[in-house]
Structure 1
Protein backbone atom coordinates (compact mmCIF):
# COMPACT_ATOMS: atom_id res chain seq x y z
CA UNK A 1 0.00 0.00 0.00
CA UNK A 2 1.58 3.36 -1.00
CA UNK A 3 2.37 5.86 1.72
CA UNK A 4 0.29 9.05 1.93
CA UNK A 5 1.67 12.16 0.31
CA UNK A 6 3.44 14.50 2.69
CA UNK A 7 1.66 17.81 3.31
CA UNK A 8 3.94 20.82 2.71
CA UNK A 9 2.73 24.42 2.74
CA UNK A 10 4.27 27.41 0.92
CA UNK A 11 5.94 30.22 2.88
CA UNK A 12 5.67 28.19 6.10
CA UNK A 13 8.40 26.73 8.35
CA UNK A 14 8.70 22.94 8.55
CA UNK A 15 10.65 21.10 11.25
CA UNK A 16 12.54 18.21 9.65
CA UNK A 17 14.51 15.32 11.07
CA UNK A 18 16.32 12.71 8.98
CA UNK A 19 18.20 9.84 10.58
CA UNK A 20 20.92 7.56 9.39
CA UNK A 21 19.86 4.10 8.22
CA UNK A 22 19.47 1.91 11.33
CA UNK A 23 20.72 4.90 13.35
CA UNK A 24 24.18 4.46 11.82
CA UNK A 25 26.81 7.22 11.82
CA UNK A 26 26.30 9.76 9.05
CA UNK A 27 29.07 12.25 9.84
CA UNK A 28 32.43 10.89 10.97
CA UNK A 29 34.75 13.79 10.06
CA UNK A 30 34.73 17.56 9.62
CA UNK A 31 34.80 17.01 5.87
CA UNK A 32 31.52 15.07 6.09
CA UNK A 33 29.79 17.90 7.96
CA UNK A 34 31.20 20.56 5.65
CA UNK A 35 30.10 18.69 2.53
CA UNK A 36 26.54 18.45 3.84
CA UNK A 37 26.52 22.16 4.73
CA UNK A 38 27.85 23.13 1.29
CA UNK A 39 25.01 21.23 -0.35
CA UNK A 40 22.43 22.83 1.95
CA UNK A 41 23.68 26.25 0.87
CA UNK A 42 23.69 25.36 -2.82
CA UNK A 43 20.26 23.76 -2.98
CA UNK A 44 18.44 26.24 -0.74
CA UNK A 45 19.59 29.00 -3.08
CA UNK A 46 18.82 26.93 -6.18
CA UNK A 47 15.30 26.06 -4.99
CA UNK A 48 14.34 29.29 -3.20
CA UNK A 49 14.14 27.79 0.30
CA UNK A 50 15.10 29.42 3.60
CA UNK A 51 16.77 27.57 6.48
CA UNK A 52 15.98 29.16 9.82
CA UNK A 53 17.73 26.64 12.04
CA UNK A 54 19.79 23.46 11.74
CA UNK A 55 21.84 20.99 13.75
CA UNK A 56 23.92 18.19 12.27
CA UNK A 57 24.34 15.40 14.82
CA UNK A 58 26.51 12.34 14.25
CA UNK A 59 23.65 10.10 13.11
CA UNK A 60 20.83 12.51 12.22
CA UNK A 61 20.02 16.05 11.13
CA UNK A 62 17.47 18.60 12.32
CA UNK A 63 16.40 21.40 9.97
CA UNK A 64 13.77 24.14 10.06
CA UNK A 65 13.00 24.94 6.41
CA UNK A 66 10.63 27.31 4.66
CA UNK A 67 10.12 26.04 1.08
CA UNK A 68 9.12 29.45 -0.26
CA UNK A 69 6.57 29.68 -3.08
CA UNK A 70 6.86 26.07 -4.24
CA UNK A 71 6.06 23.41 -1.62
CA UNK A 72 7.87 20.78 -3.71
CA UNK A 73 11.14 22.62 -3.10
CA UNK A 74 11.38 21.15 0.40
CA UNK A 75 11.33 17.52 -0.71
CA UNK A 76 13.64 18.33 -3.62
CA UNK A 77 16.15 19.93 -1.28
CA UNK A 78 16.07 16.95 1.07
CA UNK A 79 16.34 14.49 -1.83
CA UNK A 80 19.30 16.22 -3.47
CA UNK A 81 21.25 16.87 -0.28
CA UNK A 82 20.70 13.35 1.08
CA UNK A 83 21.55 11.79 -2.29
CA UNK A 84 24.79 13.70 -2.63
CA UNK A 85 25.81 12.80 0.92
CA UNK A 86 25.10 9.11 0.26
CA UNK A 87 27.19 9.07 -2.92
CA UNK A 88 29.98 10.98 -1.17
CA UNK A 89 30.15 8.58 1.80
CA UNK A 90 29.76 5.47 -0.35
CA UNK A 91 32.65 6.55 -2.55
CA UNK A 92 34.88 7.27 0.46
CA UNK A 93 34.03 4.01 2.22
CA UNK A 94 33.77 1.89 -0.94
CA UNK A 95 30.29 0.75 -0.01
CA UNK A 96 26.79 0.71 -1.47
CA UNK A 97 23.31 1.23 -0.14
CA UNK A 98 21.39 4.07 1.47
CA UNK A 99 22.95 6.26 4.13
CA UNK A 100 19.55 7.42 5.42
CA UNK A 101 16.23 6.13 6.61
CA UNK A 102 13.79 5.94 3.72
CA UNK A 103 11.54 8.77 4.85
CA UNK A 104 12.36 11.89 6.85
CA UNK A 105 9.91 13.16 9.45
CA UNK A 106 8.37 16.61 9.20
CA UNK A 107 6.03 18.93 11.05
CA UNK A 108 4.48 22.18 9.85
CA UNK A 109 5.32 24.93 12.33
CA UNK A 110 3.33 28.01 13.32
CA UNK A 111 5.75 30.85 12.67
CA UNK A 112 4.11 33.20 15.14
CA UNK A 113 3.71 30.73 18.00
CA UNK A 114 6.37 28.03 17.72
CA UNK A 115 9.11 28.88 15.22
CA UNK A 116 11.43 30.28 17.90
CA UNK A 117 10.70 27.28 20.14
CA UNK A 118 11.52 24.82 17.34
CA UNK A 119 14.76 26.64 16.57
CA UNK A 120 15.70 26.48 20.24
CA UNK A 121 14.82 22.78 20.35
CA UNK A 122 17.02 22.10 17.31
CA UNK A 123 20.01 24.07 18.60
CA UNK A 124 19.90 22.53 22.09
CA UNK A 125 20.27 19.00 20.71
CA UNK A 126 24.02 18.79 21.44
CA UNK A 127 23.41 19.85 25.07
CA UNK A 128 20.67 17.28 25.58
CA UNK A 129 23.05 14.66 24.14
CA UNK A 130 25.78 15.70 26.60
CA UNK A 131 28.20 16.60 23.80
CA UNK A 132 28.81 20.21 24.91
CA UNK A 133 27.98 22.47 27.84
CA UNK A 134 27.06 25.49 25.70
CA UNK A 135 25.47 25.53 22.22
CA UNK A 136 28.13 27.91 20.93
CA UNK A 137 30.69 25.13 21.43
CA UNK A 138 28.98 23.04 18.77
CA UNK A 139 30.02 24.28 15.35
CA UNK A 140 27.57 22.22 13.28
CA UNK A 141 24.44 24.16 14.19
CA UNK A 142 22.86 27.54 13.58
CA UNK A 143 23.34 28.73 17.17
CA UNK A 144 26.84 30.23 16.72
CA UNK A 145 25.37 32.41 13.96
CA UNK A 146 22.20 33.49 15.75
CA UNK A 147 23.57 33.64 19.29
CA UNK A 148 27.09 34.91 18.68
CA UNK A 149 27.18 36.40 15.19
CA UNK A 150 29.39 33.84 13.45
CA UNK A 151 28.97 34.06 9.68
CA UNK A 152 27.01 31.08 8.35
CA UNK A 153 25.62 31.00 4.82
CA UNK A 154 23.30 28.12 5.72
CA UNK A 155 21.23 30.35 8.01
CA UNK A 156 18.42 32.70 7.02
CA UNK A 157 17.19 35.06 9.74
CA UNK A 158 13.41 34.91 10.17
CA UNK A 159 11.23 37.91 10.98
CA UNK A 160 10.78 36.83 14.62
CA UNK A 161 14.54 36.81 15.12
CA UNK A 162 15.00 40.16 13.37
CA UNK A 163 12.40 41.71 15.69
CA UNK A 164 14.49 40.86 18.78
CA UNK A 165 16.50 44.08 18.52
CA UNK A 166 17.55 47.02 16.39
CA UNK A 167 21.17 45.85 16.04
CA UNK A 168 22.96 42.55 15.51
CA UNK A 169 24.36 42.60 19.05
CA UNK A 170 20.93 43.25 20.57
CA UNK A 171 19.38 40.41 18.59
CA UNK A 172 22.18 37.99 19.50
CA UNK A 173 21.93 38.83 23.22
CA UNK A 174 18.14 38.51 23.25
CA UNK A 175 18.27 35.22 21.37
CA UNK A 176 20.92 33.78 23.71
CA UNK A 177 18.78 34.73 26.69
CA UNK A 178 15.77 33.04 25.11
CA UNK A 179 17.65 29.82 24.28
CA UNK A 180 18.84 29.53 27.88
CA UNK A 181 15.46 30.32 29.35
CA UNK A 182 13.26 27.67 30.91
CA UNK A 183 11.74 25.33 28.34
CA UNK A 184 8.18 24.39 29.38
CA UNK A 185 7.52 20.66 29.44
CA UNK A 186 4.40 21.05 27.29
CA UNK A 187 6.44 22.84 24.61
CA UNK A 188 9.00 20.07 24.47
CA UNK A 189 6.28 17.41 24.30
CA UNK A 190 4.36 19.21 21.55
CA UNK A 191 7.46 19.61 19.36
CA UNK A 192 8.49 15.97 19.78
CA UNK A 193 5.01 14.51 19.33
CA UNK A 194 4.19 16.69 16.32
CA UNK A 195 7.39 15.71 14.58
CA UNK A 196 6.98 12.01 15.33
CA UNK A 197 3.37 11.95 14.11
CA UNK A 198 3.71 14.37 11.18
CA UNK A 199 1.26 16.81 12.76
CA UNK A 200 1.21 20.58 13.26
CA UNK A 201 3.45 22.30 15.77
CA UNK A 202 0.95 24.96 16.75
CA UNK A 203 -2.21 25.79 18.64
CA UNK A 204 -5.82 24.96 17.83
CA UNK A 205 -6.16 28.41 16.24
CA UNK A 206 -3.28 27.63 13.88
CA UNK A 207 -4.94 24.34 12.90
CA UNK A 208 -8.14 26.23 12.10
CA UNK A 209 -6.22 28.78 10.02
CA UNK A 210 -4.67 25.96 7.99
CA UNK A 211 -8.10 24.40 7.46
CA UNK A 212 -9.70 27.66 6.32
CA UNK A 213 -6.82 28.60 4.02
CA UNK A 214 -5.85 25.21 2.57
CA UNK A 215 -8.80 22.90 3.26
CA UNK A 216 -6.57 20.53 5.26
CA UNK A 217 -7.75 19.24 8.62
CA UNK A 218 -5.07 18.33 11.17
CA UNK A 219 -5.67 16.68 14.52
CA UNK A 220 -3.01 16.54 17.23
CA UNK A 221 -4.95 14.09 19.38
CA UNK A 222 -3.14 10.96 18.24
CA UNK A 223 -1.35 9.24 15.36
CA UNK A 224 -2.71 9.76 11.89
CA UNK A 225 -2.22 11.76 8.72
CA UNK A 226 -4.06 14.99 7.87
CA UNK A 227 -6.99 14.84 5.49
CA UNK A 228 -7.86 17.19 2.66
CA UNK A 229 -11.44 18.35 2.98
CA UNK A 230 -13.49 19.08 -0.14
CA UNK A 231 -15.37 22.33 0.31
Structure 2
Protein backbone atom coordinates (compact mmCIF):
# COMPACT_ATOMS: atom_id res chain seq x y z
CA UNK A 1 0.00 0.00 0.00
CA UNK A 2 1.53 3.34 -1.02
CA UNK A 3 2.06 6.12 1.49
CA UNK A 4 -0.56 8.86 1.45
CA UNK A 5 0.43 12.03 -0.35
CA UNK A 6 1.36 15.09 1.66
CA UNK A 7 -1.18 17.88 1.61
CA UNK A 8 0.22 20.79 -0.36
CA UNK A 9 -1.05 24.21 -1.30
CA UNK A 10 0.80 27.54 -1.49
CA UNK A 11 0.74 29.25 1.91
CA UNK A 12 0.17 26.04 3.88
CA UNK A 13 1.61 25.93 7.40
CA UNK A 14 2.89 22.70 8.95
CA UNK A 15 4.16 21.25 12.19
CA UNK A 16 7.14 19.18 11.05
CA UNK A 17 8.90 16.71 13.30
CA UNK A 18 11.69 14.26 12.67
CA UNK A 19 13.49 11.83 14.95
CA UNK A 20 16.86 10.14 14.84
CA UNK A 21 17.00 6.57 13.60
CA UNK A 22 16.39 4.17 16.50
CA UNK A 23 15.82 7.33 18.58
CA UNK A 24 19.54 8.05 18.29
CA UNK A 25 21.13 11.47 18.50
CA UNK A 26 20.99 13.73 15.45
CA UNK A 27 22.97 16.50 17.17
CA UNK A 28 26.04 15.84 19.31
CA UNK A 29 27.61 19.27 19.69
CA UNK A 30 26.89 22.95 19.12
CA UNK A 31 28.49 22.82 15.70
CA UNK A 32 25.87 20.29 14.57
CA UNK A 33 22.97 22.53 15.59
CA UNK A 34 24.62 25.48 13.89
CA UNK A 35 25.20 23.47 10.72
CA UNK A 36 21.55 22.39 10.59
CA UNK A 37 20.45 26.03 10.91
CA UNK A 38 22.94 27.10 8.23
CA UNK A 39 21.58 24.43 5.88
CA UNK A 40 18.07 25.60 6.65
CA UNK A 41 19.05 29.08 5.42
CA UNK A 42 20.70 27.67 2.30
CA UNK A 43 17.56 25.70 1.46
CA UNK A 44 15.40 28.76 2.16
CA UNK A 45 17.44 30.78 -0.35
CA UNK A 46 16.25 28.50 -3.16
CA UNK A 47 12.87 27.44 -1.73
CA UNK A 48 11.41 30.41 0.21
CA UNK A 49 9.42 29.73 3.37
CA UNK A 50 8.69 31.33 6.73
CA UNK A 51 9.83 29.54 9.85
CA UNK A 52 7.60 30.54 12.76
CA UNK A 53 9.22 28.45 15.48
CA UNK A 54 11.69 25.65 15.93
CA UNK A 55 13.28 23.47 18.57
CA UNK A 56 16.26 21.24 17.87
CA UNK A 57 16.54 18.53 20.53
CA UNK A 58 19.28 15.94 20.89
CA UNK A 59 17.44 13.16 19.07
CA UNK A 60 14.56 14.95 17.33
CA UNK A 61 13.43 18.31 16.00
CA UNK A 62 10.32 20.41 15.48
CA UNK A 63 9.72 23.09 12.85
CA UNK A 64 6.66 25.29 12.37
CA UNK A 65 6.97 26.21 8.73
CA UNK A 66 4.82 28.15 6.26
CA UNK A 67 5.63 27.36 2.66
CA UNK A 68 5.39 29.66 -0.33
CA UNK A 69 5.27 27.75 -3.63
CA UNK A 70 7.71 24.89 -3.09
CA UNK A 71 6.13 21.74 -1.65
CA UNK A 72 7.20 20.95 1.91
CA UNK A 73 8.47 17.56 0.76
CA UNK A 74 11.11 19.21 -1.46
CA UNK A 75 12.23 21.54 1.34
CA UNK A 76 12.58 18.83 3.97
CA UNK A 77 14.12 16.31 1.56
CA UNK A 78 16.86 18.76 0.59
CA UNK A 79 17.45 19.95 4.16
CA UNK A 80 17.56 16.51 5.76
CA UNK A 81 19.52 14.87 2.93
CA UNK A 82 22.21 17.53 3.17
CA UNK A 83 22.29 17.33 6.96
CA UNK A 84 22.51 13.51 6.92
CA UNK A 85 25.46 13.68 4.51
CA UNK A 86 27.21 16.19 6.79
CA UNK A 87 26.48 14.14 9.92
CA UNK A 88 27.51 10.77 8.46
CA UNK A 89 30.78 12.19 7.08
CA UNK A 90 31.62 13.99 10.30
CA UNK A 91 30.98 11.00 12.57
CA UNK A 92 31.97 8.29 10.05
CA UNK A 93 28.50 6.73 10.11
CA UNK A 94 26.63 4.82 7.43
CA UNK A 95 22.93 4.53 6.81
CA UNK A 96 19.88 6.55 7.68
CA UNK A 97 20.17 9.39 10.16
CA UNK A 98 16.43 9.99 10.47
CA UNK A 99 13.89 7.39 11.50
CA UNK A 100 11.54 6.89 8.60
CA UNK A 101 9.62 9.65 6.92
CA UNK A 102 9.39 12.98 8.72
CA UNK A 103 6.03 13.82 10.24
CA UNK A 104 4.06 16.83 9.04
CA UNK A 105 0.63 17.98 10.07
CA UNK A 106 -1.14 20.85 8.32
CA UNK A 107 -2.10 23.69 10.66
CA UNK A 108 -5.50 25.04 9.70
CA UNK A 109 -6.64 27.27 12.57
CA UNK A 110 -5.25 30.02 14.76
CA UNK A 111 -5.73 27.87 17.87
CA UNK A 112 -3.75 25.06 16.28
CA UNK A 113 -1.07 27.47 15.04
CA UNK A 114 -0.55 28.92 18.51
CA UNK A 115 -0.79 25.52 20.19
CA UNK A 116 1.98 24.17 17.95
CA UNK A 117 4.20 27.15 18.74
CA UNK A 118 3.60 26.61 22.47
CA UNK A 119 4.25 22.87 22.17
CA UNK A 120 7.49 23.37 20.24
CA UNK A 121 8.86 25.90 22.72
CA UNK A 122 7.84 23.82 25.76
CA UNK A 123 9.58 20.71 24.41
CA UNK A 124 12.89 21.07 26.34
CA UNK A 125 10.98 21.89 29.53
CA UNK A 126 8.63 18.92 29.17
CA UNK A 127 11.62 16.66 28.45
CA UNK A 128 13.28 17.80 31.69
CA UNK A 129 16.28 19.25 29.88
CA UNK A 130 15.83 22.73 31.40
CA UNK A 131 13.90 24.30 34.23
CA UNK A 132 13.30 27.46 32.21
CA UNK A 133 12.56 27.43 28.48
CA UNK A 134 14.59 30.62 28.07
CA UNK A 135 17.70 28.63 28.98
CA UNK A 136 17.42 26.28 26.01
CA UNK A 137 19.75 27.55 23.31
CA UNK A 138 18.46 25.60 20.28
CA UNK A 139 14.94 26.95 20.17
CA UNK A 140 13.35 30.12 18.83
CA UNK A 141 11.75 30.90 22.19
CA UNK A 142 14.11 33.71 23.24
CA UNK A 143 13.26 35.65 20.10
CA UNK A 144 9.66 35.72 21.22
CA UNK A 145 10.12 36.78 24.81
CA UNK A 146 13.23 38.97 24.67
CA UNK A 147 12.87 40.60 21.26
CA UNK A 148 16.31 39.20 20.39
CA UNK A 149 17.02 39.00 16.68
CA UNK A 150 16.95 35.50 15.25
CA UNK A 151 17.49 35.43 11.47
CA UNK A 152 15.88 32.01 11.19
CA UNK A 153 12.37 32.86 12.29
CA UNK A 154 9.47 35.16 11.54
CA UNK A 155 7.78 36.16 14.83
CA UNK A 156 5.32 38.74 13.51
CA UNK A 157 2.46 36.37 12.65
CA UNK A 158 2.52 34.63 16.02
CA UNK A 159 2.84 37.83 18.05
CA UNK A 160 0.04 39.49 16.06
CA UNK A 161 -2.44 37.24 17.89
CA UNK A 162 -1.60 38.73 21.31
CA UNK A 163 -2.41 42.02 22.99
CA UNK A 164 0.45 44.39 23.79
CA UNK A 165 2.93 43.84 25.16
CA UNK A 166 2.76 40.86 22.81
CA UNK A 167 6.15 39.44 23.87
CA UNK A 168 5.04 39.30 27.49
CA UNK A 169 1.61 37.90 26.61
CA UNK A 170 3.23 35.19 24.50
CA UNK A 171 5.56 34.33 27.39
CA UNK A 172 2.60 33.99 29.76
CA UNK A 173 0.72 31.88 27.23
CA UNK A 174 3.67 29.56 26.61
CA UNK A 175 4.81 29.23 30.21
CA UNK A 176 1.32 28.70 31.59
CA UNK A 177 0.65 25.19 32.90
CA UNK A 178 -2.91 25.68 31.66
CA UNK A 179 -2.92 24.42 28.08
CA UNK A 180 -5.97 26.59 27.42
CA UNK A 181 -4.46 29.95 28.34
CA UNK A 182 -6.65 31.44 25.63
CA UNK A 183 -7.61 34.53 27.57
CA UNK A 184 -4.22 35.97 26.56
CA UNK A 185 -5.07 35.76 22.86
CA UNK A 186 -7.08 38.62 21.42
CA UNK A 187 -8.49 36.77 18.41
CA UNK A 188 -12.30 36.42 18.69
CA UNK A 189 -13.45 32.81 19.09
TM-score by length of 1: 0.73
Per-residue deviation, residues 109-144 of structure 1 (Å, max 9, x unmatched)? 124222111100001000001010111100101101
The CA RMSD over aligned residues, in Å, is 1.9
Per-residue deviation, 1:8:
2.5
Q: Counterpart of 1:52?
A: 52
- What is the rounded CA distance, in whole Å, between the counterparts of 1:114 and 1:163 in structure 2? 12
Instruction: Show the 5 A alignment for 1:40-189.
Output: 40-70=40-70, 72=71, 74-165=72-163, 170-184=165-179
| Conservation of the 8 A alpha-carbon contact between 2:15 and 2:104 | yes
1:5 aligns to 2:2 (yes or no): no
- What is the rounded CA distance, in whole Å, between the counterparts of 1:139 and 1:32 in structure 2? 13
Runs (5+) with no aligned partner, structure 1 = 188-231
- What is the rounded CA distance, in whole Å, between the counterparts of 1:60 and 1:8 in structure 2? 24
Deviating above 6 A after TM superposition, structure 1's stretches of 4 or more consecutive aligned residues are: none
TM-score by length of 2: 0.88
Per-residue deviation, residues 132-171 of structure 1 (Å, max 9, x unmatched)? 01111001011011111222111112424134356xxx22
- What is the rounded CA distance, in whole Å, between the counterparts of 2:57 and 2:76 in structure 1? 16
- What is the rounded CA distance, in whole Å, between the counterparts of 2:101 and 2:30 in structure 1? 25
- What is the rounded CA distance, in whole Å, between the counterparts of 1:135 and 1:27 in structure 2? 19
- What is the rounded CA distance, in whole Å, between the counterparts of 1:159 and 1:95 in structure 2? 40
- Structure with max Cα Rg: 1
SS at 2:166's partner residue?
Answer: helix
1:16 aligns to 2:16 (yes or no): yes
